[in-house]
Amino acid sequence: MTTRKSSAARLSVFSNSALVLMKVAVGLASGSVSILAEALHSGLDLLAAVIAWVSVRAADRPPDDEHPYGHGKLENLSGTIEAALILATALWIGAEGIERLLHPRPVQVSALALLVLAVSAAANLLVSRHLFRVARAEQSVALEADAHHLSVDVYTSVGVLAGLALIRATGWHWLDGLIAVGLAVAIARIAWELTHRAAHPLLDARLPEAEESALVASIRADPRVLDCHAVRSRSAGAWAYLDAHVAVAPGTTLEDADRLEEELRARLRRHHPRLDVLLHVEPAASGEQG
């Protein structure tokens, strides 16, 4: 499991390294701010991919004395840092784009520059598809964030490619700045969505409502369970946590309550293999008070 996840993260590191080198080279040669912006963007993607790679490995470590709840939140922390970096890039590219829009400079669009952008779009498409598959299978927040990100990058590369082809055909050099501004907006959106997904679990936000209701429904489905209340859920990276009160018939023995608790836990784990369940079993009469 772990190997598949970290080799997927490593693939993203390698592909981004190659893209950065190619884009910096053609960006400098052409003097185009939109290609340089793409290069900077890929540079940050590389940094983000390294963070994802390291954090996926670290987050998979089993709980230890210092971290009895495990290390899952490392994935959320790295996702949040990644989002902040992406936002910073967006601001830089936006400022540079506006400057070029106001004071256009001639841009040399070579066929090589267009080829590099086409290769970049194709590479990001292939890598993001692979990451999506692994992220779904392994329920990895960090990998999924990386996959989403790379799939948006396909559009940014294609957008810059189309714009530069237009500059080459028409000689409208101001387009370079305009493309950079559009790129900045697209990148800022990635940062916003990623912040939302990655940072919320840091504040112990509940699981998605549909997921939590499915878990509670599975508890209530047991005929021995008369009520289920005081439900709390949260997530940390690939792990989820659920605690709840389960009311049973008064007079139930401690042994029966214990067996019920274990059976419920096993059933819930079938919904979510990385679920940590804590159930408080109580007699139904006192259940209403809490």
- What does the per-residue mask of binding to Zn ion show for 153-172, with x meaning CB under 5 A? x-------------------
Give min distance, CB of 127 to Zn ion, in A.
11
Q: Does the protein bind Zn ion through residue 92 (CB under 5 A)?
A: no
Selected range binding Zn ion among 89-97, 152-160, 193-201, 252-260, rule: CB under 5 A: 152-160
User: Is 243 one of the binding residues for Zn ion (CB under 5 A)?
Assistant: no
Closest-CA residue to 75 (of 51, 92, 98):
51
The count of chain residues that interact with Zn ion, using the rule CB under 5 A, is 4
Stretch touching Zn ion by CB under 5 A, among 71-79, 127-135, 244-252, 257-265: 244-252
In the complex, minimum distance from the CB of residue 271 to Zn ion, in angstroms, rounded to a whole number: 22
Q: Which residues within the stretch 15-74 sit at the binding site for Zn ion (CB under 5 A)? A: 45
Closer CB to Zn ion, residue 197 or residue 245?
Answer: 245
Options 133, 173, 245, 267; binder of Zn ion; rule CB under 5 A = 245
Smallest separation (angstroms) from Zn ion to the CB of 102: 26
Give the list of residues 6+ apart from residue 270 with CB closer than 8 angstroms, or none. none
Q: CB-wise, 83 or 107, nearer to Zn ion?
A: 83
Query: Which tokens in the block code for residue 265?
Result: 């836990």
Nearest CA among 1, 59, 50 for reference residue 236: 59
Q: Applying CB under 5 A, does 212 fall inside the site for Zn ion? A: no
Beta bridge partners of 236: 239
In the complex, least distance from residue 80 CB atom to Zn ion, rounded to whole angstroms: 16
Helix (H) or strand (E) holding 162: helix 141-170
Residue 144 found at the interface with Zn ion (CB under 5 A): no
CA distances from 109 to 31, 121, 176 (A): 9, 17, 10
288 class by beta-carbon count within 10 Å (0-12 exposed, 13-18 middle, 19+ buried): exposed
Angle (CA) 104 45 111, round 5°: 45
